[in-house]
Amino acid sequence: MCNSTVGENGTVPEMRNTAYALVFGSVMVLGLPLNAVSLWILLRRHSLKSPNAVFMVNLAISDLLLVISLPMRVYFYATGTWPLSTTACIWITMLFRNNIRSSSIFITFISVDRLLAVVYPLKSRHLRTSSNAWRAVALIWLFVVVMNIPESVNFSRELIKHNESTCFEFRQRPHSSLKYFQPLLVFTMLAVNVVCTALVSWTLRRRLNDSARVHNKVNVMLIFALNLIMFTIFFLPVSLAVVFPILRPSLTSLLCLASVNCCFDPLLYYYSFDGFWKKQEEVDSSTARE
């Protein structure tokens, strides 16, 4: 999954690995309480009665799964050693990949849900139900886990073949049919988010005369803007690095950057909106009136 310089001589590699450990450690320290509090508030105040709340809860769970995989990355880059088995390395690597994939899908579903609430508030009511959201969530997690099977098998074979005793410093050679999966998924989800942003922006622009709702419109567009930022900064660069060899030397740095997404979800997505502290029914009825 990534290429490190652990074990090389010189102060530059040592400083680089120390920086990696500090970044992953900071993400762990910030991401755990932020996402735990977000999950608690979502479960307590929103009660999973709307599709938006269902997708947000699973987004927080995805971020927490990423956070629990970070301690071993911190240990590895701080000490330069891997004390666990190959199986543990594979599991931790898959947790990292799953966060990028599941988060990108959940964020996209949140965008689609907001699109339906703003553009088709009445026609979409039979679609925007918590039961439909849970069906979608089950399919998403099943899809993500199933994709882990061939990747894990390939990763394990590569580690055994090259007699690797370390984890994150090993540069995996992904199978040709697998290495395009994540970039294709991220590009597809990004395209959906761009279309949703354009349609919602066009719809809200037609209602600018409703001055009483201007503040809510700004918040709605901020949601879509933040979603696009998540893709372009955190998800897309690391996905492209898997495909393009020119980016692979900086893959570990891009992985550090990608891990920061779990801190931005609660900070920039949840807490930036007053609706996060309200009952979800109030948020949806307010959006529908727009």
Q: Domains in the chain, ordered, with CATH? A: 11-272 (1.20.1070.10)
pLDDT of amino acid 158: 74
Give the number of residues written for the chain: 290
Q: What is the DSSP letter of 278?
A: S
Q: Token digits for 238? A: 């690391």
What is the C-alpha separation between 241 and 247, in angstroms, rounded?
Answer: 5
pTM of this structure? 0.85
**pLDDT block averages, 10 residues each, the chain of length 290:** 42 80 94 91 78 90 94 90 84 91 94 88 86 95 92 80 63 64 93 94 72 60 88 93 83 91 75 51 48
pLDDT tens-place string over residues 163-178:
555 677 655 555 556 7
What is the C-alpha separation between 279 and 37, in angstroms, rounded?
Answer: 16
What is the C-alpha separation between 193 and 188, in angstroms, rounded?
Answer: 9
Contact between 185 and 227 (Cβ < 8 Å): no
What is the C-alpha separation between 231 and 193, in angstroms, rounded?
Answer: 9
pLDDT of amino acid 2: 41
pLDDT of amino acid 9: 43
Q: Token digits for 112? A: 């689609």
Angle at 148 between CA 2 and CA 166, to 5 degrees: 35
Radius of gyration of the chain (CA): 20
Q: What distances in angstroms separate CA 20 from CA 23, 69, 250, one per listed residue?
A: 5, 14, 12
pLDDT tens-place string over residues 259-277:
999 988 876 555 444 555 5
What is the C-alpha separation between 219 and 274, in angstroms, rounded?
Answer: 9
What is the C-alpha separation between 108 and 38, in angstroms, rounded?
Answer: 19
- From the number of C-beta atoms within 10 Å of its C-beta (0-12, 13-18, 19+), residue 97 rates as buried
Q: Token digits for 94? A: 């898959």
How crowded is residue 34: how many other Cβ atoms within 10 Å of its Cβ?
A: 22
